[in-house]
Chains A and B, each alone.
Chain A
């Protein structure tokens, strides 16, 4: 079987429109881009993350963390400020993991960590009780997503899913690896990704649109399921904006994922989401409907929210939910079993930041009766200050969890003792 996708994304191109930039006036005029050109796929609209803001929102540009991460003294001071439920403890697992994003365990106990703009992939190993952080890959294009299967490390770097065989035995010489899937647009805009494997060893892979809000070209705003062995892929979700986190439900095998909602509507709308794919091919609403009940002011275009799959839970506006995991360990209190822990990266363009924490969601396997509570917080200082920004979570063997933070450039461990 050939890939479910045409090898050429250009063949899938379609004319589409995005909202006019703020400066073009509030006439609701839609400006169009031509995605049928090769140039579109190499260079997305230049106003893709700034451009829709109002005058009152001007200056809310992405915050920039400390380039060399937090020092060990700063991390030690930070740990004292993090609030957790009684009995839980947070500590630094490894400092010096700059721009740390998704984590994956090797079979022999190596913790692999991806990064954002730095282009690094790290291996964290134990050296007589002290964690050693080694940069094992450099110069990749936003290698935010990682997975480990059958001895191989998989790295997804915007438009390449790369396999490094026998990775743990070759940490010093991983080589160039082998590209096993590349039917993906090459632009950076919402092009950074996350990997979650299901029991068949296929990866769920998110594809964000190259702008804030617009009618997406056919090959993005979706989640695909990709077989790294054959390069086959299938489409499992449509109408998804920017998703950079998800996990397979240990109870049902279904894929749950976080989603970042559109920007520049207001500080309090629309809400970011937690979704579940109940059956393949569901449409989650973007760009027509947000948070399950809010038609887009320009792009609803006659669609009703009832046409689309609603979120399992609205997590809050501008909280930026990224990596998430079902808790499957035995160390935490019994009622944590199968809870979802979500790393919220926090706001970048809200006047008063929120998120920047870990939330716990308890929910039935069918998505019914969702409840959320704050699990770990304290990374935000003042209205627009960060000490750190959690972005991924992974279980450790002993039932504790590890948390990646790309602002402080560190990995934390959270454990529980009665």
Chain B
């Protein structure tokens, strides 16, 4: 117990020293812009719209910056990002990162498909960037527990080149060779984690 406590404290200190002066309350207020589509507390109830709860701070911020620069395109997001400045972006990143992650859809109605998805995730080396728990880190998205329909959409967008995925373009390169079966299995597996 003591060991665990010390561990938590040092994590808090480290993240505290690196963290920018983001304002959670201001982020929560600004997130009012997001609720209609992304749901209360960042859990989406809307088809093809991702949950944002517990996404890494930097991932949220980068996507907003990409929408703003036009390097990621979305008709729904365009008018939103026109209303936010750099401070809002920092605050929104901190706010969504502070929320409890979405609960996986349970029970798994197709364990065989999840099994295939797990194999695909290992073979395609998803954990190299998304981490072993698929919770994401830094600029890399949390994909565990994400909506299955949105995971399908995102993988299709990467595969077709609609979305390139950050400066390194890694997701476009990774998704391009994925088969339809792999995409279906990956989305099902990750949504049920």
Is A44 close to B, CB under 8 A? yes
- Which bucket holds chain A's interface residue count? 35 or more
Interface residues of A in 47-79 (CB under 8 A from B): 47-51, 58-59, 61-64, 66-69, 71, 74
Interface residues of B in 140-176 (CB under 8 A from A): 140, 164, 166-170, 172-174, 176
**With A and B bound together, what is the CA distance between A203 and B170 in angstroms?**
29
Q: Which of B62, B70, B140, B168 contacts A67 (CB 8 A)?
A: B62
The answer to whether A46 and B177 touch (CB under 8 A), given A116-B167, A119-B69, is yes
**With A and B bound together, what is the CA distance between A385 and B172 in angstroms?**
27
Is the Cβ of A50 less than 8 Å from the Cβ of B129?
yes
Chain B residues with Cβ below 8 Å from A45 are 173
Q: Which of A49, A59, A117 contacts B71 (CB 8 A)?
A: A117
Is B65 close to A, CB under 8 A? yes
Total A-B residue pairs with C-beta atoms closer than 8 Å? 90
Is the Cβ of B166 less than 8 Å from the Cβ of A117?
yes
Is the Cβ of B62 less than 8 Å from the Cβ of A64?
yes
Proximity string of chain A (168-202) to chain B, C-beta cutoff 8 Å, 1 when within and 0 when not: 00000000000000000001110000000000000
Q: Which of B71, B172, B173 contacts A119 (CB 8 A)?
A: B71
Is B186 close to A, CB under 8 A? no
* B65: nearest chain-A partner, CB-CB: A67
Is A43 close to B, CB under 8 A? yes
Prevailing SS type, chain B contact patch = helix
Is B58 close to A, CB under 8 A? yes
* B18: nearest chain-A partner, CB-CB: A385
Is A138 close to B, CB under 8 A? yes
B74 CB to nearest A CB, Å: 14
* B175: nearest chain-A partner, CB-CB: A46
Is the Cβ of A67 less than 8 Å from the Cβ of B58?
yes
Q: Which of A46, A64, A99 contacts B176 (CB 8 A)?
A: A46
**With A and B bound together, what is the CA distance between A23 and B127 in angstroms?**
13
**With A and B bound together, what is the CA distance between A61 and B20 in angstroms?**
22
Is B193 close to A, CB under 8 A? no
Is the Cβ of B90 less than 8 Å from the Cβ of A44?
no
**With A and B bound together, what is the CA distance between A43 and B139 in angstroms?**
22
Chain B residues with Cβ below 8 Å from A119 are 69-71
Chain A residues with Cβ below 8 Å from B18 are 385
Chain B residues with Cβ below 8 Å from A189 are 169, 173
**With A and B bound together, what is the CA distance between A127 and B61 in angstroms?**
30
Q: Which of A47, A59, A68 contacts B65 (CB 8 A)?
A: A68
Is the Cβ of B173 less than 8 Å from the Cβ of A58?
no
- Which bucket holds chain B's interface residue count? 20 to 34
Is B128 close to A, CB under 8 A? yes
Is the Cβ of A61 less than 8 Å from the Cβ of B129?
yes
**With A and B bound together, what is the CA distance between A213 and B176 in angstroms?**
21
Interface residues of A in 18-57 (CB under 8 A from B): 21, 23, 43-51
Chain A residues with Cβ below 8 Å from B89 are 67-68
Chain B residues with Cβ below 8 Å from A21 are 125
Chain B residues with Cβ below 8 Å from A118 are 65-66, 69, 71
**With A and B bound together, what is the CA distance between A67 and B81 in angstroms?**
14
The answer to whether A50 and B125 touch (CB under 8 A), given A44-B173, A119-B71, is yes
Chain A residues with Cβ below 8 Å from B65 are 67-68, 98, 118
Is A402 close to B, CB under 8 A? no
* B166: nearest chain-A partner, CB-CB: A117
Is the Cβ of A117 less than 8 Å from the Cβ of B64?
no
Chain B residues with Cβ below 8 Å from A98 are 65, 69
The answer to whether A188 and B177 touch (CB under 8 A), given A61-B140, A64-B62, A67-B89, is no
Proximity string of chain A (247-264) to chain B, C-beta cutoff 8 Å, 1 when within and 0 when not: 000000000000000000
Proximity string of chain B (74-111) to chain A, C-beta cutoff 8 Å, 1 when within and 0 when not: 00000000000010011001000000000000000000
Is the Cβ of A43 less than 8 Å from the Cβ of B177?
yes
**With A and B bound together, what is the CA distance between A50 and B130 in angstroms?**
13
* B131: nearest chain-A partner, CB-CB: A59
Is the Cβ of A120 less than 8 Å from the Cβ of B167?
no
Is the Cβ of A68 less than 8 Å from the Cβ of B61?
yes
Is A139 close to B, CB under 8 A? yes
Is A240 close to B, CB under 8 A? no
Chain B residues with Cβ below 8 Å from A66 are 20, 58, 61
Beyond A46-B176, A63-B138, A138-B70, 7 additional contacts (C-beta under 8 Å) are A49-B170, A50-B125, A59-B128, A64-B58, A66-B58, A67-B139, A68-B89
User: Which 9 pairs between the two chains have the least Cβ-Cβ distance?
Assistant: A117-B167, A64-B139, A67-B61, A188-B169, A68-B86, A43-B176, A67-B65, A119-B71, A46-B173
Pick 23 A–B contacts, CB within 8 A, sort by A.
Answer: A43-B172, A43-B176, A45-B173, A46-B124, A48-B173, A49-B170, A61-B138, A61-B140, A64-B58, A64-B138, A64-B139, A66-B20, A66-B58, A68-B90, A69-B86, A71-B86, A99-B167, A116-B167, A117-B66, A118-B69, A119-B69, A138-B69, A385-B18
Where the two chains meet, the residues of B that have a C-beta atom closer than 8 Å to any C-beta of A are 18, 20, 58, 61-62, 64-66, 69-71, 86, 89-90, 93, 124-125, 128-129, 138-140, 164, 166-170, 172-174, 176-177
